């Protein structure tokens, strides 16, 4: 574990080097009715600081692709390299360590811990990584997303937009190399969603993160530098 930790502790990759490489990824599942092919020969690379939208019809495999990029699901064939590391050559523990250091997540359903305050939710990934001054760093990030008056509030008393801003703060506070977002505005009204997306892109630029998001919203996809369209399990990259 120590060897892997030392490999992962470097700075972000240079802008000219791919930070995410999806290499000929296939994904299929088999049950009593036969084999279903979800993804077929997905192959693309993203550089540091790039923004990419994964789009396609419902059931096309967008979220499956995102979870494979995160190393939360395994491909049937192919691999993913994150900051040059073949994530599926790692043990589950080492893959989790890589995620903790390199990857942030934002979900449609926020995924906040209900028994923790906004501040404690944002502190959590810092504390799990052994980062010093977790409270001060989390407080600063919540102020950055406009929630300086909500530090001690629990998720149940926060609006949907406030909860998603807490989720953004939690994702960005570790300064991830890659941020993965799955329908980040899917639970929000239009105006609130616009505020959240503006903030997400601002933080992405400020911190030099590579942003990969799944969305059904063509306006959000249009803000990204790259558009990765999944059709019948295959990818069209633009």
Instruction: Please check whether residue 92 lies inside any domain of the structure.
Output: no
Place of tokens 């028994």: 115
**Boundaries of domain holding 146:** 47-72+99-237
| In a domain? residue 186 | yes
Query: Is residue 231 in some structural domain?
Result: yes
Question: Would you place residue 8 in the very low, low, confident or very high pLDDT band (cuts 50, 70, 90)?
Answer: very low
Q: What is the mean pLDDT of residues 92-115?
A: 91
CATH of the domain at 183: 3.40.50.300
Per the prediction, the chain carries an average pLDDT of 89
Mean pLDDT of all residues in 175-198 = 91
Lowest mean pLDDT among 1-5, 163-167, 185-189: 1-5
The answer, yes or no, to whether residue 17 has pLDDT greater than 80, is: no
Nearest to 117 by CA among 160, 150, 164: 150
Whether the pLDDT of residue 237 is over 80: the answer is no
Average pLDDT of span 186-214: 91
pLDDT of residue 11: 42
Total tally of structural domains belonging to the chain? 1
Quote the pLDDT of residue 238.
59
pLDDT at residue 88 above 90?
Answer: yes
What percentage of the chain exceeds 90 in pLDDT?
A: 70
- Asked whether residue 38 is assigned to any structural domain, the reply reads no
Confidence (pTM): 0.85
- Region 205-209: mean pLDDT is 91
Assigned domain for 222 exists: yes
**140: in domain:** yes
Q: What percent of the chain is modeled with pLDDT above 70? A: 92
* Residue 216 covered by a domain: yes
* Digit-coded pLDDT (tens) for 19-34: 999 999 999 999 888 8
Angle subtended at Cα 29 by Cα 215 and Cα 230, rounded to the nearest 5 degrees:
30
Q: Is 15's pLDDT higher than 50?
A: no
Is residue 13 in a domain? no
pLDDT at 4: 40
**Model pLDDT, residue 187:** 85
Q: Which residues, 6+ apart, have CB-to-CB distance to 138 below 8 Å?
A: 119, 122, 123, 126, 169, 173
């Amino acid at each position: 574990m120590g060897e892997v930790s030392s490999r992962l502790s470097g700075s972000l990759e240079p802008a000219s080097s791919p930070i995410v490489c999806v290499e000929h990824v296939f994904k299929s599942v088999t049950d009593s009715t036969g084999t279903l092919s979800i993804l077929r020969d997905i192959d693309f690379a993203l550089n540091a600081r790039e923004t990419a939208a994964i789009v396609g019809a419902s059931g096309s495999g967008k979220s499956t692709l995102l979870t494979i990029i995160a190393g939360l699901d395994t491909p049937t064939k192919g691999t993913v390299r994150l900051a040059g590391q073949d994530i599926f050559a790692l043990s589950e523990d080492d893959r989790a360590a890589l995620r903790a250091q390199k990857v942030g997540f934002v979900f449609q359903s926020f995924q906040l811990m209900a028994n923790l305050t906004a501040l404690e939710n944002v502190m959590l990934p810092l504390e799990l990584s052994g980062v010093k001054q977790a409270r001060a760093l989390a407080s600063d990030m919540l102020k950055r997303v406009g929630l300086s008056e909500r530090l001690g509030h629990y998720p149940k008393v926060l609006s949907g937009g406030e909860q998603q801003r807490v989720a953004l703060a939690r994702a960005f506070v570790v300064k991830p190399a890659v941020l993965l977002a799955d329908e980040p505005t899917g639970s929000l009204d239009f105006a609130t969603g616009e505020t959240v997306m503006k903030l997400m892109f601002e933080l992405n630029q400020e911190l030099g993160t590579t942003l990969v998001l799944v969305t059904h919203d063509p306006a959000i996809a249009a803000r990204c530098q790259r558009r990765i369209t999944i059709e019948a399990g295959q990818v069209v990259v633009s």
